Amino acid sequence: MSGRLNFERTPGNPPELPELDLESLAKLYARVFAGEPWNEFVVCPTNGTFFGTDTKPDVVCPEADCGAILQPVYPLEETKGYIAGELARPDATLLLLRDAERDGEIVGFSWGFSYDGPGALADAKYKTSAMQIAISGLLREFDLGANGLWYLSESGIENDPRYRGKGISREFHTRRLETARTLGLDAIQRTSAYGNMYRTSKRTMTQIMGVETAPDTVSGELRPTGVIVNRLEDSEIEGRVLFAKSLPANDAAAWS
């Protein structure tokens, strides 16, 4: 990157993030996931439906006959607690992107951590027993996670043309895969089939479940191809998919 934009790996095991940085990261996290393709700005407390930034907090849910008052998805203190919990997990690694021209403000983030194996990941990341059984079975079918799994958890970049489209997402992704390789663990990425992380993951990993998408030849937007990879689709969140990268036994070049 240029001298203006600097990647850093937060020191410590677990990573030690100062309170001011934790607050800045939590605010950035909320801004990132309020936008497309997630649209997680406000949520209905009754039915759990997310709405984007065109809907405001403290108004009545627009869904028919609901009547509940919409709430922010990522309140500051709760989000700080969530991030701190993520960074306390085994083998946690936090990567940050700072802008030197904005006094070192955090403008990008990416982190990951490990699970003991397929069952632990499936139980933690999926709510229903049907999906937990399906995902743990799928991972074992592909011989993933015998020694543990390194989960590429959250990644985001400020929605600003100074940072988007600069290869930052790919750099975060490469660095996280290198962490998994260093730890000797298979890597797992869960993302949306309609977001930029899908494009990034497809370059270096193998999709193992969910709807397959490809760029539209005119608009460039990701559109379904009609293929459901391994005939397994996420029944909890539409369009959510899994990518994997297995650790080669004796071939480090396979990670390049």
pLDDT tens digits, one per residue of 70-122: 999 999 999 999 999 999 999 999 999 999 999 999 999 999 999 999 999 99
Instruction: For residue 229, tell me if it sits in a domain.
Output: yes
Residue 9 belongs to a domain = no
Q: Is the pLDDT of residue 256 over 60?
A: no
Instruction: Determine how β-strand 149-157 pairs with β-strand 105-115.
Output: antiparallel
Within a domain: residue 5?
A: no
- Evaluate if residue 1 carries a pLDDT over 60: no
- CB of 93 closer than 8 Å to CB of 112: yes
pLDDT of residue 245 exceeding 60: yes
Say which range, 1-15, 147-161, 182-196, has the weakest mean pLDDT. Answer: 1-15
CA proximity to 168, closest of 92, 241, 107: 107
Average pLDDT of the chain, as a whole number: 92
Q: Residue 222: its pLDDT value, please?
A: 96
Position 220 in a domain: yes
In a domain, 83, yes or no: yes
Q: 58 or 2: whose pLDDT is higher?
A: 58
| pLDDT(253) > 60 | no
For the chain, what is the domain count?
Answer: 1
Residue with tokens 């991030």: 83
Looking up residue 214, the CATH number of its domain turns out to be: 3.40.630.30
Tokens of 11: 């020191």
| Per-residue confidence band for 255, with pLDDT thresholds at 50, 70 and 90 | very low
**Domain housing 200:** 75-255
pLDDT at site 65: 85
Cα–Cα dist 104/29, whole Å: 17
Q: Pick from 115, 114, 84: which is nearest to 15 by CA? A: 84
Write the burial class of residue 72 (CB in 10 Å: 0-12 exposed, 13-18 middle, 19+ buried): middle
Tokens standing for residue 121? 């990941």
The verdict on residue 34 lying in a domain is no
Is residue 19 domain-resident? Answer: no
Confirm whether pTM is higher than 0.75: yes
Query: Is the pLDDT assigned to residue 2 strictly greater than 70?
Result: no
The reply to whether 67 falls in a domain is no
**What is the tens place of the pLDDT at every residue in 162-218?**
998 889 999 999 999 999 999 999 999 999 999 889 999 999 999 999 999 999 999
